[in-house]
Amino acid sequence: MKPYTIRLQGGQMIRALHLRKAIKHYITPNAKIMDAGCDTGRDAIYLSAKYPDTQITALDISQKAINEANIRLAKTKRKNVSFSVADLLNIDYSEQFDIIYSIDVLEHIANIDKCFENLYNALKPYGKLIIHVPCPNQKRHFKRFEKIEHPQHVHVGFTNQELANIIQSKGFRVIDSKFTAGWFGSLAWEIFAMTMKSGFLKRLLFPIVLLFAIIDVIIINKEGNSVIIIAQKTPFLKRI
């Protein structure tokens, strides 16, 4: 059987819900936020509307993604978000952001050490970093999903401990970590993927998919196909 080709809309919904839950605890008035790897801008535009007194700088290496993000933005009245083409390995910000989030981006980057160094430099002292990545050895509900190719992935994923170790080695203190896409979330993703070609089935089953995605965010998953880590830039750790 050929590897199943998956569109990411279902996964995007689950990741977005986890991001929204995580970030709300750390946003302050007039916060400056970076979306490091914004893709087509869904998260950045949502957050710009939810928190209108923030300023969001959204970056992505893909010109095509940024073009689509700007088209989305033009349909809104949001003035507190901007989209730019940028390589996270080449950015040169100095202590400008209160929060940086990066959702399913690190697995595409070979030199993650350099990436984390740049993100560290871009954060203000004690600023927050929110990272979401897939885990290796993912579990599936349906056999058709057991062989999935991700040709754009440089890394197969990161375990919770691997990611925490990398983050801490770069001068961050891990505040919280959680498995995502657990039993309910991964099932939601697979159901959504199976209904992509049928508009009727997608509409029919979407309430179930959404319910399972919400449950995934609410409960504490003992294991999962992805992990989200929240860390704080702690300058004295960098000097050790």
Q: What is the pLDDT of residues 169-202, one digit of tens each?
A: 999 999 999 999 999 999 998 888 888 777 787 7
CATH number at residue 64: 3.40.50.150
Q: Is residue 98 part of a domain?
A: yes
Q: Is residue 215 part of a domain?
A: no
Average pLDDT over residues 46-73: 97
Alpha-carbon span 170 to 173, nearest angstrom: 9
The angle that helices 160-169 and 112-122 make with each other, rounded to 10 degrees, is 60
Q: Is residue 2 part of a domain?
A: no
Average pLDDT over residues 32-39: 98
pTM, entire model: 0.90
| Number of domain units in the chain | 1
Helix, strand, or coil here: 236? helix
Query: What are the tokens at 199?
Result: 């508009």
The range of the structural domain enclosing residue 45 comes to 9-181+222-239
Q: What length is written for the chain?
A: 240
pLDDT at position 151? 63
Q: How confident is the model at residue 235 (pLDDT cuts 50, 70, 90)?
A: confident
pLDDT, tens digit (0-9, with 9 covering 90-100), for 94-147: 999 999 999 999 999 999 999 999 999 999 999 999 999 999 888 888 776 766
The answer to whether the Cα torsion of 127, 132, 133, 135 is positive or negative is: positive
State the amino acid at position 227 in one-letter form. Answer: V
Q: What is the percent of the chain where pLDDT is above 70? A: 90
Q: Is residue 203 part of a domain?
A: no
Average pLDDT over residues 204-211: 88
Is the CB of residue 100 less than 8 Å from the CB of residue 123?
A: yes
Helix, strand, or coil here: 102? strand
